[in-house]
Amino acid sequence: MALLWSHREKGVLYQVRAAGSSRRLYADGVLHTQFNPRRIVTGSVWDLLWLPVFFLTAPRVERVLVLGAGAGAVIRQLDMLFQPKEIVAVENNPVHLRVAREFFGVTRQMAVLHEVDAAEFIRRYRGGRFDLIIDDLFVARGNVARRALSCDSRWIKQLVRHLRKDGILCVNFADRLEYLATPFSGWFGPGRRFGSAFELRSPSTENVIAAMLPGQVDAASLRVHLQATPALAGLLKAGHLRYQVRSIALRR
């Protein structure tokens, strides 16, 4: 892979490398973000952050909030798939935002980037509600990425406050232990805020994405809707769009 850029800040070595049309951001040698503008999907965890939209019969999002923008791979994917009217992206690492703009093609027309702590942004935000909220908040501890904020009931409540009634919430966890420590079952089911909830995984990572959706939907519908989407059907058939999905069980 060709080295395009290298920068050390606060003891961390950041590198952007190219492999063909693909761009990859590394932090101290650990892959942080990757994206290829010639292929919408990455074949990894970034795909799972927007995939739950396709549980719906008519996948469509107009306003998206991305917490943890990183180098902008998900922003590029959202723009290519849905052309939202507005993507608001929050990131507290200025190096990530620089890389997003200079190497990953995130433009001002594509997204509004905020350099701010996500918890502070959520606490102070007073704008319109979102169709999709993606929580992808991670920090590196050594060479291991862990969630930057605990996803407890209080945090979920704060996120839901900024979500439309028919909106979707997606939260990324580093592994199953982080995921199992989260009280999702109190938020979905009969008479609760969300009608359905699923966990999604990629064969290439340990991450678990929890998705909570309005109404009753099922896992079979996800594949049907992907197969009916011209931009994704071929990638799904070829095995480039890879995922595992199952319903989150209600805990009694």
Q: What is the CATH number of the domain that holds 101?
A: 3.40.50.150
Closest CA to 20 of 44, 41, 1, 47: 1
162 lies in some domain: yes
14 lies in some domain: no
pLDDT at 179: 93
Residue 135 pairs with which residues in a beta bridge? 67, 171
CB atoms within 10 A of CB 134: 28
Under 8 Å between Cβ of 8 and 14? yes
Per-residue pLDDT reduced to its tens digit, 44-88:
999 999 999 999 988 889 999 999 999 999 999 999 999 999 999
156 lies in some domain: yes
Conformational region of residue 46, where left means phi above 0, alpha means psi within -120 to 50, and beta covers everything else = alpha
pLDDT at 184: 84
pLDDT at 186: 84
pTM of the model: 0.95
114 lies in some domain: yes
Q: Is 128 exposed, middle or buried (0-12, 13-18, 19+ CB in 10 A)?
A: exposed
235 lies in some domain: yes
Q: What is the dihedral of CA 168, 98, 109, 172, to 10 degrees?
A: -10
55 lies in some domain: yes
For residue 39, the SS3 value is strand
For the chain, the domain total comes to 1
Q: What is the span of the domain harbouring residue 133?
A: 38-247
pLDDT at 29: 87
pLDDT at 141: 64
pLDDT at 142: 63
Task: Tell me which residue has tokens 């795909």.
Answer: 47
Spatial separation of the C-alpha atoms in residues 179 and 209, rounded to whole Å: 8
Spatial separation of the C-alpha atoms in residues 222 and 204, rounded to whole Å: 20
pLDDT at 124: 96
19 lies in some domain: no
Per-residue pLDDT of the chain (252 residues; tens, 9 = 90+): 899 999 999 999 999 999 999 999 999 888 889 999 999 999 999 999 999 999 998 888 999 999 999 999 999 999 999 999 999 999 999 999 999 999 999 999 999 999 999 999 999 999 999 999 999 999 876 667 789 999 999 999 999 999 999 999 999 999 999 999 998 878 998 888 999 999 999 998 999 999 999 989 999 999 999 999 999 999 999 999 999 999 997 655
238 lies in some domain: yes
